[in-house]
């Protein structure tokens, strides 16, 4: 849809030939911004409720800077995942409205929105070594406008640590459970709560964990109902899905 088509669409809206919902439906098909090396989906927030997220790993610092510079013209908040300290320092040359979360390897440009929902997403980690992936999920959910609480290092090796915090488990609207090794924690949590559980296997573990494959298969084979599983170390995907579930009945203003 080019400028002339947009103008015609707006004229039809002004003249009452179409209604607002019909106009929004047509706008959802607007094009991307072509930088040559990247095609930025500038209207993803219109379709999905949140802008396109930058996966920094594998991109050059120069490419990331150019993407952020272009995205700033249309997005009040930008999220960059798997970002190094080098990327963080480079982006300071683009904007001073930047916050770096080293554990999550995430950069947030702009201001985090206020929580759209009064409900809480609880991020649970099996061990301290799982916290980087858990933080990736937590930062993602926060930037998407959710109340987030954390409950870390409560794995099955010391189950009393989890049970001593059962009030937090019961109070959450959605739970993201992050674990490596044998990946048993989501099954335990799933057997205790009546809310959706998103399981995240991590690559933490000794040789036979196969860089998270053992945990992934264990979570896929969980006997507890109500558990969804994302890919190994995919805290971002878990945080994004948790946000969508948490905000299903919310109306953004």
Is the same domain home to 79 and 179?
A: no
pLDDT per residue, tens digit, the chain (253 aa), is: 556 667 888 888 889 888 888 887 777 667 777 788 888 877 787 778 788 889 999 999 999 999 998 888 777 888 999 999 999 999 998 888 999 999 999 999 988 788 888 899 999 999 999 999 999 999 999 999 999 999 999 999 999 999 999 999 999 999 999 999 999 999 999 999 999 999 999 999 999 999 999 999 999 999 999 999 999 999 999 999 999 999 887 755 5
From 56, 76, 110, the end of a domain falls on: 110
Domain membership of residue 40 as a residue range: 28-110
From 63, 84, 110, the end of a domain falls on: 110
Is the same domain home to 212 and 233?
A: yes
pLDDT, tens only, 115-132: 888 899 999 999 999 999
Tell me the C-alpha distance between 168 and 164, whole Å. Answer: 9
pLDDT, tens only, 23-79: 877 776 677 777 888 888 777 877 787 888 899 999 999 999 999 988 887 778 889
For tokens 């995942």, the residue is 81
pLDDT at 196: 96
Whether residue 55 lies inside any domain: the answer is yes
Is the same domain home to 226 and 129?
A: yes
235: domain CATH number? Answer: 3.40.50.1970
Secondary structure of residue 149 in the 3-state scheme: strand
Query: How many domains does the structure of the chain reveal?
Result: 2
From 55, 76, 110, the end of a domain falls on: 110
Tell me the C-alpha distance between 245 and 144, whole Å. Answer: 12
Record the tokens describing residue 209, joined without a space.
Answer: 């964990």
Whether residue 163 lies inside any domain: the answer is yes
DSSP 100: E
First to last CA, the chain: 27
Whether residue 13 lies inside any domain: the answer is no
For tokens 């953004």, the residue is 252
DSSP 229: E
Is the same domain home to 127 and 196?
A: yes
pLDDT at 7: 80
pLDDT at 2: 53
Sign of CA dihedral 155, 158, 163, 168: negative
Is the same domain home to 93 and 124?
A: no
Sign of CA dihedral 42, 44, 49, 52: negative
Whether residue 20 lies inside any domain: the answer is no
Is the same domain home to 134 and 196?
A: yes
Is the same domain home to 104 and 152?
A: no
pLDDT at 50: 82
Is the same domain home to 209 and 104?
A: no
């Amino acid at each position: 849809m080019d400028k002339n088509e947009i103008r015609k669409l707006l004229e039809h809206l002004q003249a009452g030939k179409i209604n607002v919902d019909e106009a929004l439906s047509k706008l959802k098909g607007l094009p991307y911004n072509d930088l040559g090396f990247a095609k930025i989906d500038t209207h993803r927030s219109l379709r999905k409720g949140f802008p396109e997220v930058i996966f920094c790993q594998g991109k050059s610092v120069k490419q990331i800077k150019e993407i952020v510079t272009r995205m700033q013209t249309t997005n009040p908040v930008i999220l960059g995942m798997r970002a190094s300290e080098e990327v963080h320092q480079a982006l300071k040359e683009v904007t001073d409205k930047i916050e770096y979360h080293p554990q999550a390897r995430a950069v947030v440009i702009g201001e985090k929105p206020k929580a759209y929902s009064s409900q809480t997403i609880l991020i649970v980690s099996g061990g301290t070594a799982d916290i980087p992936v858990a933080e990736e999920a937590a930062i993602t959910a926060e930037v998407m406008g959710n109340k987030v609480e954390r409950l870390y290092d409560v794995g099955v090796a010391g189950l009393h640590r989890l049970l001593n915090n059962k009030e937090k488990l019961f109070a959450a609207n959605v739970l993201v459970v992050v674990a490596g090794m044998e990946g048993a924690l989501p099954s335990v949590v799933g057997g205790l709560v009546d809310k959706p559980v998103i399981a995240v296997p991590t690559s933490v573990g000794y040789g036979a964990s196969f860089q998270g494959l053992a945990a992934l298969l264990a979570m896929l084979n969980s006997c507890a109902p109500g558990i969804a599983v994302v890919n190994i170390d995919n805290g971002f995907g878990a945080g994004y899905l948790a946000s969508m579930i948490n905000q299903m009945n919310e109306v953004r203003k």
